[in-house]
Structure 1
Amino acid sequence: MNSDRISLFKQFIKEEPANPFNKYALAMEYYETQPEESLSLLRSLLADHPDYLPTYFKAAHLLWESESWDDADEVFQKGIKLAEEQKDQKALQELKAAYLNFEFDRD
């Protein structure tokens, strides 16, 4: 976690609150060391910017790691559907592969 980048991303969010990348980038800074803060930001993105596809993969993983099985399942499925709608084959493959691993882990 880099405090300079965190400060910078927080400033970017203030300057451009409608740009989902800034909040996503901040969530990624918190991802390893403060997963609760990261998940809070990712949940906010899912609510406010449901078409921002990168959010789904990371949010689903954090939910999976916290054993929030139903929430993780829902986020994976929505992400897969969105990737199909956006015709993003790379994201679709990544989400489907992760979802398959999630299903194995869940059972």
Structure 2
Amino acid sequence: MTTHKKNISRLAKNIQQDPSDTFSKFALALELLKDDRVEKAQLLFEAILKQDPDYLGVYYHLGKLYQRREMYSHAKEMFSKGIQVAEKKNESRTKSELSEALVQLQFEIED
């Protein structure tokens, strides 16, 4: 079993033991993306948002996932909401990254 598959297995076990473990859900979603299991990653990211709307990292990654799936209005909404959360939490670097992602998305949509 590869390290990648071991990570997925370990993280899934963590979540089974503690379904409220947002960090493990986030890490598992990222591992699933590496494995090109986009739908499962999307479900996890969306579950994180419902469970913890202040989990700032999820906005960028879910927005990018939506963008990848050409779900542009959803991507725009994620980046915009993430910017609001970053402002509320005084996270200027994350706000900047989300703002840049939103600008790139708008360029992609216009092409």
Deviation at 1:15, TM superposition (A): 2.2
Structure 1 gaps of 5+ residues are none
CA distance in 2, matches of 1:18, 1:37: 17
- Normalising by the residue count of structure 1, what TM-score does the alignment of the two structures yield? 0.94
Partner of 1:103: 106
Deviation at 1:41, TM superposition (A): 0.7
What is the 5 A alignment of 1:11-90?
11-32=13-34, 33-90=36-93
Deviation at 1:61, TM superposition (A): 0.3
CA distance in 2, matches of 1:47, 1:70: 19
Deviation at 1:13, TM superposition (A): 1.0
Residue aligned with 2:90, SS: coil
Would you identify which runs of 4 or more consecutive aligned residues in structure 1 move more than 3 Å?
Answer: none
- Normalising by the residue count of structure 2, what TM-score does the alignment of the two structures yield? 0.90
Deviation at 1:19, TM superposition (A): 2.2
Q: Which amino acid aligns with 1:98?
A: A
Residue identity over aligned pairs, in percent, reads 30
CA distance in 2, matches of 1:16, 1:88: 28
Deviations 1:65-103 (A, max 9, x none): 111111111111110100010111111111011111001
CA distance in 1, matches of 2:55, 2:85: 9
